[in-house]
Chain A
Amino acid sequence: MAQALELERTHGAGHDAGDGHADHPPTSTGLDHRKLLMWAFLASDCMFFGSLIATYMIYRGRSESLGTGPFPHEILDIPYTSVSAFVLLMSSLTMVLALAAIQRNDQRGLRIWLFATALLGSIFLGGQYFEFSEFVHEGLTLQTNMFGASFFTLTGFHGTHVTIGVIWLITLLFISLRGGLNAGDSLDVEIAGLYWHFVDIVWIVIFTLVYLIPYDVVEEAEEAAATLGPAVAIFGQRLIGLVG
């Protein structure tokens, strides 16, 4: 313990132990700022996707009143999307195995798992392309109805994130093949991994809220809210009257 702390004093406080960035100056927080920045970005991306998912949940049930289909319960394919969700989950496993490989300087393992992650991500993207094509074939586009507009916007932005992730992973793979990644650069892989796992957790939420939660449940909730609404409004008015 004492020896470890002495080593820390010798090398400075700012770098990530074991990441090999000994030439980095100490940071004011004692944390690696690249990693902190990635977490800050992911926090902001949470807000981005939170807004998109909220918009989808609001709009998906409002197309029926306009009478323009297709509607979610007619078109969403749960078994097909379940396979896509499984593929993306497995890509998270291969990503974390790539990180474990570089941390023990296992170059072959790193390349295999980076390639596997990029491949699984590409399979997911291929699946999404096929799904989008099918939907368009069945008459659902961005312009068809509110469900189409919010669905394609939400899942399209997620797909864009996956695409960026795949490009990032392939770039890391090429750098590794040129001998540019070793155990000292594990933070580079870790930061890419944070981004990739985030893409996975966003899909976990989308899979549940967009695909699995039944369409009629949202409809029933809206009807209940519409019934409950006036009663709560009257209660609120009386409360305000009492306070006033």
Chain B
Amino acid sequence: MVQGAHGEAADRGVMSAGPGTKPGTNHSVDSHGDHPGELVYIKIAVILTVITAIEVVIYYVDAVASFLVPMLIVLSIAKFAIVVGYFMHLKFDDRRFSYMFVSGLLIAVSVFLAVGALFFFHAFAIT
């Protein structure tokens, strides 16, 4: 009980100080006091479902064929960001968790682009 009361009080206090609190302070910065409620989670799930439905529908619509790839990529990035931000709570947690994850993500994207460039532009080889 003591812990529970402490948790709730500390959540409010710490989170109001904002994320990214310095190490070595008395702030417990990875608390979940500002996590959204269940209604928000359900709304997020509805949004994700709608985005997925849009992705599938535009796949079959010839009128948007020339914009299909950019639209799919934008919608995919939106879904990715929503899940990471809300379901994984990165939007509400300490920023150092975000830095940790984004650093790996950036390396992954860089590898993806580098490998793509290497193979798609193989004719670039200067002899």
A129 to chain B, nearest CB (A): 22
Chain A 40-84 residues near chain B, CB threshold 8 A: 40, 42-47, 49-51, 53-55, 57-58, 78-79, 82
Q: Is A123 an interface residue (CB 8 A)?
A: no
A-B contact count (CB 8 A): 242
Are B29 and A232 closer than 8 Å at their CB atoms?
no
Are A97 and B94 closer than 8 Å at their CB atoms?
no
A107 to chain B, nearest CB (A): 15
Q: Is A205 an interface residue (CB 8 A)?
A: yes
Using Cβ atoms and an 8 Å threshold, which residues of chain A touch B94? Answer: 31
Which of A93, A204, A228, A236 interacts with B126 by CB under 8 Å?
A236
Of A9-17, A130-138, A151-159, A167-175, the one with at least 4 CB within 8 A of chain B: A9-17
Are A208 and B123 closer than 8 Å at their CB atoms?
no
Q: Residues 216-237 of chain A: 1 if any B CB is under 8 Å from the residue's CB, otherwise 0?
A: 0100011001101110110011
Are A4 and B14 closer than 8 Å at their CB atoms?
yes
Closest to B55 in A: A212
Which of B3, B29, B80 interacts with A204 by CB under 8 Å?
B80
Which of A2, A13, A20, A204 interacts with B7 by CB under 8 Å?
A20
Closest to B31 in A: A17
Q: Residues 31-42 of chain B: 1 if any A CB is under 8 Å from the residue's CB, otherwise 0?
A: 111010110011
A28-B103 Cα distance, complex, nearest whole Å: 21
Q: Which residues of A contact B (CB under 8 A)?
A: 1-5, 7-11, 13-20, 22, 28-32, 35-36, 39-40, 42-47, 49-51, 53-55, 57-58, 78-79, 82, 85-86, 89-90, 92-93, 95-97, 100, 103, 105, 183-184, 186, 190, 193-194, 197-198, 200-201, 204-205, 207-209, 212-214, 217, 221-222, 225-226, 228-230, 232-233, 236-237, 240
Known: A82-B56, A217-B69. 14 other contacts (CB 8 A): A1-B12, A4-B10, A9-B26, A11-B3, A39-B100, A44-B104, A85-B52, A103-B35, A186-B32, A193-B87, A197-B83, A204-B79, A208-B75, A221-B120
- List 27 interface pairs A-B (beta carbons < 8 Å), by A numbering: A2-B13, A5-B10, A17-B6, A18-B4, A18-B7, A19-B7, A20-B3, A20-B4, A28-B23, A28-B24, A29-B23, A30-B29, A31-B23, A31-B97, A35-B97, A46-B107, A51-B111, A57-B116, A89-B48, A89-B49, A90-B45, A97-B41, A190-B32, A198-B88, A207-B76, A229-B123, A229-B124
